[in-house]
Structure 1
Amino acid sequence: MQRMGSMTKYLAFLSGVLFSLMIIFFIYSYILKSQLLEQGENILADLVNTTEQGYSVLASLNNKGFSNCSNENLLAMRKSQFESNDIKDIGFLNNDLLTCTTGIGLLAKPIKETSPNLILDGHKFWFNHKLITFDRTLQGIVIRKDNYNIVASFQGILYEHRKFNEYELLAVKGDEITHLFGKPDLYQQKAKMGKPYFSTGLLSHSLELCGPKGIICVVIQQKNFSEFQVGPVLLILMFISLVSGVATLHAYQWMYSYIYSTKRRIKLGLSFKGIKPHYQPIIELKTGKVMGCELLARFEDHIGPLYPDQFISVVSELDMSWLMTEHLILQAIDDFKEIKVIDKPFYLSINVFPKDINNGNILKGVELLKNITPNLQICFEVTEDEELHYSKVGDTLEKLSKSHIKISIDDFGTGYSNLSQLKLLDIDTLKVDKSFIDEVETGSIRSTLIPNIVSIAEKLEATIIAEGIENRLQVDELLKMDIELGQGWYYAKALPLNEFKEYLLSNSDYKFTDSIGS
């Protein structure tokens, strides 16, 4: 399995850090937007309450029927102002002339009323109006009804909302926008009547919200995380980011290991036929001619190839051995369906797992092969790396024997077989393992055992095939031991179909009726 590079690990860690920061920012943004919306709605609600309170005060005073700035009138005006938190001044008008206010009393010179900014619900509104009271300038909203007006101060309305760094209150009438209070130029005209507009940035968030009738709008802007102390916030963010980065790295390593694991690759390979047959020629040692071949499984996917010793055991472990064998049998039948018979059928050896004989799956292979062309002689090659339960597979072995499918023992001498057990199998071929062939030309101790294997083969009336032949000297020594067949890299490695056909046509009398090599 491939290993993650240091750059990949670094990117995985960095991705975890960035992802955690994004999640934190998303959660913070969601909470902050909720807070901004709540504050904006509260400000507008306060303005509505102040306006309704002003309406009530104006109605109450007008109902008293005063016609001039009498002491009784001023007393009633001052009492109404005292009872209201948001009304900062009340004035009395006679013929559109302001004659007295609660702040100054009777004016020495009446003040002519100007044109209002807005008339709503029978009330006149002046925005950003300034009133001189005791030599101090009072700025606010003036509302008039009949003989009275009131002044509502922004300072009183917005006092509870000063936790925000920046805000702006505006009056909007068509295209005319009047700044009322706060920091100017925050309003971007994005909000629609009754629908808030949020602006989200890395440095700050802002809200634009207009009242139900779209006349008064509020903009609130807050710098991100300004409500927290910088030091603790940075420490918390660093800790969370570090933990998230490490967790992401471990998760990525686990996913990487899973994706590149041999088991997963094998499962996908068997599902999508990623295991392909290759064919290694079996040679008549005296003539050098091909008389058959062994089917060998090869695996390669988009990640790369796996060697047989990497995936064969995994296939068995996954209990997918017969699935692979069946796929290879069907592919081999198709590959050699056009081969022509000469004096004898072409010998095709197919490896099977002992477990598929033990559990009876091998009989499915008999069924697959019952109608194949007589041009082929099929041999099931049983590897000795897994024990065969001879005493329990009698019926299976008998059916194999009657099916005209030959049986070969692969890597003979290295596994579990003994002579008495082999007699039960009706063995046709013994394949001498490469470990016996190595250094046969030098007379190594292990190679001296080959005559014993030849003797066993004679008792079983079985043919011997020598595996792993790598040079001419080995061929000569094997011929001296009366071994007639062999295979190995000296002749050819396992080849894909097209290359094998070319080799077969050049080194045998076999032909194909299909277009390839005809």
Structure 2
Amino acid sequence: MKKGHKKSIIALLTGILVFVTGSLILLYFAGQKLAATISEDATHLVKHIDTALQERRRILTPLNNLGFKQCDQATLLEMRRALFDAKYVIDIGFFKNDQLVCTTGAGLLDKVINDKSPDYIIVDENIRVRFEPQLYLLLFSDRPMEVIIVRQGDYNLIIDTKVFNDDVISSPMWEVVYKHKRSINHLAGQSGVYDTLVNNVYLPYERRLICSEQNSNYCVALHMPWNKFFAKNHFLLIISLILTCLAGVSSALLVDNLIADRRSTFNRIRLGLNKNSFYWTYQPIICLQTGTVIGCEVLARFKDKYGTLYPDQFIPLLRKNNLTWKFTEAMIAKVLKELTAIDILPEGFKVSLNIFPCDVEQGNVSSLTQVSELTNSRFIICLEITEDEYLDTSIAHAHFRTLVKSGFNLSLDDFGTGYSNLKNLQNLSFHQLKIDRTFVQDIATEGLKASMIPNIMELVKKFNYTCVAEGIETSEQEAILKTAGVHYGQGWKYGRPMKVNKFHEYMAKQSV
């Protein structure tokens, strides 16, 4: 799988995960809201039940205690007084010999009405209760009413069930019941809801069964399906889903940017300095006259879990972000450890290390004189520094002199390609010039750069430098350079840059 695709998949999965997590959180809070709504409805209904029962006791018990034996004006007056402050009761009737003889609304009846059998009886209070889905009161004979008829002694109460549903209840399905032994008696709401909720399985939060704490036989059952809840709160749901989608998309973009940043060349370099992603290779330097290996140049390479970076990618960023000296310190520590362990490398073996010109100007190179592993090494440490305007200062010259006094060799790298100020060459305290590979590669075509090699060699002789030509790949190039008086050569003809174990093997073959 390509790395770009892998990064996109990770970002996509992160966005999906955030969206799913957000949706689950949204669902959880929706469930809490749904449960709270049903709970509020249940509490509201139970409160109605308890208040209605208190009202029933407050009316029926005192009326029966009055001891009236027939319905006359005094009886009707007391009945109407009891009804005046009632909230649930809409009519009160008086019975004689189980026959209704008068009501508060109609007064004395022209024709008595026989009482019907109750749905259930509360024995300890001698209460008879009956649910009437369609009752026609004498005053409203054209309007059927759903009522609860409660009789105690000589009186009954007519309770309108609409008072329970006073537009506060949100649940679309609810029922108030009285549990008597094994029977369930409907009192208000939608008949059958209680049995349905008890005998079936529902999703979490969408149903509630609760009984009154004061009157445990009275219970309520409520059901609000999820789809009804979402339909009722659709606007809030849409806004929440949009926000969740935006969170998912934002998270995906953020992760994509973080991954991109983590995989950016600069970040890889920065982390690589601490995680040993840099490693060093060694390319042999040959004496052109004898063909023997007199030293090696240390060349940096980089590889991490994201792949390989080449010097032209990481070197400019090291310079731009002031990481050059940290890089150089890491190089020196690792190279000395690796090369010192190779016993077959002779005393005076030249090890060329590339130094950034900015570290010369900033004085960082002066700290090398305090590194005993360098100053006491059996190797000749040659510091290769590319031509740069930083070198053409009195500060740089002072640092060069300090390095030379401490035993370091100095080499002017890539001579002729950078910032050239030939009149100051004699002041740089250098030991060696290094001819850039572009001059060597131009030899075969007899180009302009190749024609400059004799002029460079005149400077080498004038300032008593040694000279190294890099990029030698053919015997023809080697022969021309040898004839021109170049002392040392470096290039694929003699060996490519190799890791320390391969370099060890290479040197072992050279010593045979």
Alignment of 1:275-290 (within 5 A): 275-290=278-293
Other-structure match for 2:500:
497
Amino acid at match of 2:71: S
Other-structure match for 1:328:
331
| CA distance in 2: counterparts of 1:442 and 1:320, whole angstroms | 39
Amino acid at match of 2:421: N
- Does structure 1 residue 367 correspond to structure 2 residue 370? yes
Residues 465-474 or 340-349, more deviating = 340-349
Q: How many residues align?
A: 491
Using a 3 Å threshold, how does the CA distance of structure 1 residues 428 and 45 change in structure 2: closer, same or farther? Answer: same
Contact 2:286/2:294 (<8 A) preserved: yes
Give the structure with the higher percent helix.
2
| CA distance in 1: counterparts of 2:22 and 2:222, whole angstroms | 29
Contact 2:134/2:145 (<8 A) preserved: yes
Contact 1:44/1:218 (<8 A) preserved: no
Contact 1:382/1:407 (<8 A) preserved: yes
| CA distance in 2: counterparts of 1:123 and 1:475, whole angstroms | 126
Amino acid at match of 1:70: C
Other-structure match for 1:195:
none
Residues 206-215 or 445-454, more deviating = 206-215
Amino acid at match of 1:395: A
Residues 33-42 or 471-480, more deviating = 33-42
Contact 1:124/1:143 (<8 A) preserved: yes
Describe the SS at the equivalent of 2:353: strand
Amino acid at match of 2:223: V
Q: Deviations over 1:334-375 (max 9, x none)?
A: 112234477642111111111111111112222224566542
| CA distance in 2: counterparts of 1:284 and 1:178, whole angstroms | 112
Other-structure match for 1:30:
29
Which of 182, 187, 210 is 2:197 aligned to?
Answer: 187
What is the CA distance between 1:414 and its match in structure 2? 0.8
Contact 2:172/2:223 (<8 A) preserved: no
What is the CA distance between 1:418 and its match in structure 2? 2.5
Other-structure match for 2:310:
307
Contact 1:295/1:350 (<8 A) preserved: yes
| CA distance in 1: counterparts of 2:47 and 2:15, whole angstroms | 48
Q: Deviations over 1:222-275 (max 9, x none)?
A: 415413789x998x8998788677656654543343122111111111122211
Amino acid at match of 2:393: Y
Other-structure match for 1:430:
433
Amino acid at match of 1:40: S
Other-structure match for 2:140:
none
What is the CA distance between 1:15 and its match in structure 2? 6.5
What is the CA distance between 1:29 and its match in structure 2? 6.4
Which of 255, 274, 277 is 2:277 aligned to?
Answer: 274
Alignment of 1:145-294 (within 5 A): 150=157, 152=159, 154-161=161-168, 164-167=171-174, 181-182=189-190, 184=193, 187=197, 199=203, 206-208=206-208, 210=210, 213=213, 215-223=219-227, 225-227=230-232, 250-294=253-297
Q: Deviations over 1:267-315 (max 9, x none)?
A: 1111222111111111223443322111111111111110000001101
Other-structure match for 1:514:
none
| CA distance in 1: counterparts of 2:270 and 2:126, whole angstroms | 80
Residues 291-300 or 99-108, more deviating = 99-108
Using a 3 Å threshold, how does the CA distance of structure 1 residues 289 and 131 change in structure 2: closer, same or farther? Answer: same
Using a 3 Å threshold, how does the CA distance of structure 1 residues 269 and 383 change in structure 2: closer, same or farther? Answer: same
Amino acid at match of 1:86: Y
Amino acid at match of 1:220: M
Which of 464, 468, 473 is 1:470 aligned to?
Answer: 473
Contact 2:414/2:435 (<8 A) preserved: yes
Residues 10-19 or 317-326, more deviating = 10-19
Amino acid at match of 1:487: Q
Other-structure match for 1:86:
88
What is the CA distance between 1:453 and its match in structure 2? 1.2
| CA distance in 2: counterparts of 1:311 and 1:137, whole angstroms | 91
Other-structure match for 1:376:
379
Using a 3 Å threshold, how does the CA distance of structure 1 residues 405 and 167 change in structure 2: closer, same or farther? Answer: farther
Contact 1:397/1:425 (<8 A) preserved: yes
Contact 1:40/1:220 (<8 A) preserved: no
Using a 3 Å threshold, how does the CA distance of structure 1 residues 508 and 464 change in structure 2: closer, same or farther? Answer: farther
Residues 322-331 or 448-457, more deviating = 448-457
Describe the SS at the equivalent of 2:381: strand
After TM superposition, the score normalised by the length of structure 1 is 0.78
Other-structure match for 2:457:
454
| CA distance in 2: counterparts of 1:123 and 1:277, whole angstroms | 103
Amino acid at match of 2:208: E
Other-structure match for 1:59:
58
Computed over aligned residues only, the root mean square deviation of the Cα atoms, in angstroms, reads 4.4
Other-structure match for 1:194:
none
Amino acid at match of 2:298: L
Using a 3 Å threshold, how does the CA distance of structure 1 residues 132 and 449 change in structure 2: closer, same or farther? Answer: closer
Contact 1:383/1:411 (<8 A) preserved: yes
| CA distance in 2: counterparts of 1:459 and 1:98, whole angstroms | 143
Amino acid at match of 1:187: L
Using a 3 Å threshold, how does the CA distance of structure 1 residues 80 and 384 change in structure 2: closer, same or farther? Answer: farther
Using a 3 Å threshold, how does the CA distance of structure 1 residues 66 and 389 change in structure 2: closer, same or farther? Answer: farther
Q: Deviations over 1:98-130 (max 9, x none)?
A: 9679599796444566755798xx89796x945
Identity %: 27
User: Which structure has the bigger radius of gyration?
Assistant: 2
What is the CA distance between 1:468 and its match in structure 2? 1.1
Amino acid at match of 2:340: K
Which of 445, 448, 452 is 1:445 aligned to?
Answer: 448
Describe the SS at the equivalent of 2:371: helix
Amino acid at match of 2:66: F
Contact 1:167/1:221 (<8 A) preserved: no
Residues 309-318 or 213-222, more deviating = 213-222
Using a 3 Å threshold, how does the CA distance of structure 1 residues 54 and 285 change in structure 2: closer, same or farther? Answer: same
Other-structure match for 2:354:
351
